């Protein structure tokens, strides 16, 4: 009994010390975990998709909207917390666009394209080529020879898209290239109507540049690939080919100059420009043959109103979409075209343009007015 008693008494201090050490180590370990916890991302944990979906929906209901491509948001800042502490705490937010919150993120693709697909086979084998540029013409069948000549100036790097305002589409199959082109047919509409409805920025996103051209352009002195090289070289986000100065009425800014590759400014008549860096002396191209970079078009598309018809005045507003506009908007002189001024679309309309004393282009906070007399003398021209 004596031996048993001494053994029991001698063990108690050791067990007490072991308990104290264990407790201390646990507290230190927990403290370290607590310090590192804010740096851990919720997305790094292997949480079931059902739980994450619940989080997505609850957070969406709380914020009432989830923008496309959203990023982690900060916690609301309490009165007792500093903004510095708040920035280090993030809330996981789904990247799906609004309306698709319940779908797995990997299945959602916000952008699409105009590339043609086969009716069968593996999707990754559908595309034998992926053109980098898009050219659109708004056309009538009477202008088929002119369009045929124009299309031949664009290489296989271009997707060809025709908007038909006269309802004739299958007749274009006389041209071999037409069988690979995309045809959209709606009667008696202008190119800006088509552009707003069929050239959404998320659809044309694969293209570096988008050409939105009229049907009555002479292209004998134009090569599309060379044009793209010059646009890249001079950093133009919005551009057009120079116009033959001896053919028709045009602005000074868009007239071709024979002594340079590109120009970005000009001198107009006295009083027409209140500053050398604003239209029509700079930051200006016309609406008959504009060329937009991908980023510029994303802005311009949003600026186009649903009821915009001929597009007059839009060319004065394009500068709102690039910065600095007087450096990124210009005319390519080395690749030039002729405006033939063939009013074929005018023969298709059901009613004449109102004979008011002025034409107006309204765009919320923007307004541009051009009187009929200046239009007749050449200050405005071109088809929409």
- pLDDT tens figures, 31-50: 777 766 554 444 444 444 44
The answer to whether residues 317 and 302 touch, using CB atoms and an 8 Å cutoff, is no
Residues with pLDDT less than 70, the chain: 1-13, 35-94, 248-249, 343-384
How high is the pLDDT of residue 365? 38
How high is the pLDDT of residue 26? 78
The answer to whether residues 309 and 208 touch, using CB atoms and an 8 Å cutoff, is no
How high is the pLDDT of residue 355? 29
How high is the pLDDT of residue 23? 81
How high is the pLDDT of residue 107? 84
Please tell me the distance from the alpha carbon of residue 144 to that of residue 150, in angstroms, as a whole number.
10
How high is the pLDDT of residue 312? 82
How high is the pLDDT of residue 347? 61
Encode burial over 261-286: b for 16+ CB neighbours within 10 A, e otherwise.
Answer: ebbbbbebeeeebeeeeebbbbbbbb
**Assessment of whether the complete model's pTM goes beyond 0.75:** no
Nearest CA to 61 among 101, 9, 110?
A: 101
How high is the pLDDT of residue 343? 63
How high is the pLDDT of residue 94? 57
Please tell me the distance from the alpha carbon of residue 58 to that of residue 102, in angstroms, as a whole number.
11
Please tell me the distance from the alpha carbon of residue 283 to that of residue 281, in angstroms, as a whole number.
7
């Amino acid at each position: 009994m004596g031996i048993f008693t001494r053994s029991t008494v001698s063990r108690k201090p050791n067990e007490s010390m072991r308990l104290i050490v264990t407790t201390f180590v646990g507290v230190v370990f927990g403290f370290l975990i607590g310090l590192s916890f804010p740096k851990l991302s919720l997305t790094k944990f292997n949480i079931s998709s059902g739980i994450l979906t619940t989080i997505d929906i609850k957070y969406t209901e709380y914020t009432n909207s989830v923008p496309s491509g959203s990023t982690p948001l900060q916690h609301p800042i309490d009165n007792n917390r500093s903004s510095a502490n708040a920035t280090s705490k993030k809330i996981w937010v789904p990247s799906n666009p609004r309306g698709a919150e319940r779908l797995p993120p990997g299945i959602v693709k916000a952008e699409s394209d105009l590339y043609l697909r086969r009716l069968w086979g593996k999707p990754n084998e559908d595309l034998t080529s992926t053109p980098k540029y898009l050219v659109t013409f708004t056309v009538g069948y009477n202008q088929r020879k002119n369009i045929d000549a124009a299309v031949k100036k664009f290489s296989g790097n271009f997707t060809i898209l025709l908007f038909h305002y006269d309802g004739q589409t299958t007749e274009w199959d006389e041209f071999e290239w037409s069988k690979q082109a995309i045809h959209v047919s709606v009667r008696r509409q202008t190119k800006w109507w088509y552009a707003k409805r069929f050239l959404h920025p998320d659809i044309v996103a694969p293209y570096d540049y988008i050409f939105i051209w009229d049907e009555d352009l002479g292209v004998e002195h134009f090569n599309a690939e060379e044009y793209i090289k010059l646009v890249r070289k001079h950093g133009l986000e919005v551009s057009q080919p120079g116009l033959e100065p001896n053919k028709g009425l045009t602005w000074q800014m868009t007239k071709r100059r024979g002594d340079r590759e590109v120009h970005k400014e000009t001198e107009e008549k006295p009083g027409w420009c209140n500053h050398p860096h604003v239209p029509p002396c700079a930051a200006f191209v016309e609406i008959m043959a504009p060329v937009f970079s991908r980023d510029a078009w994303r802005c311009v598309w949003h600026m186009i109103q649903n009821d915009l018809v001929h597009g007059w005045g839009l060319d004065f507003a394009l500068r709102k979409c690039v910065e600095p506009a007087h450096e990124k908007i210009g005319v390519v002189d080395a690749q030039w075209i002729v405006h033939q001024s063939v009013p074929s679309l005018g023969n298709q309309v059901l009613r004449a343009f109102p004979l008011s004393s002025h034409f107006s282009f309204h765009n919320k906070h923007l307004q541009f007015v051009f009187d009929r007399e200046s239009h007749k003398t050449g200050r405005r021209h071109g088809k929409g």
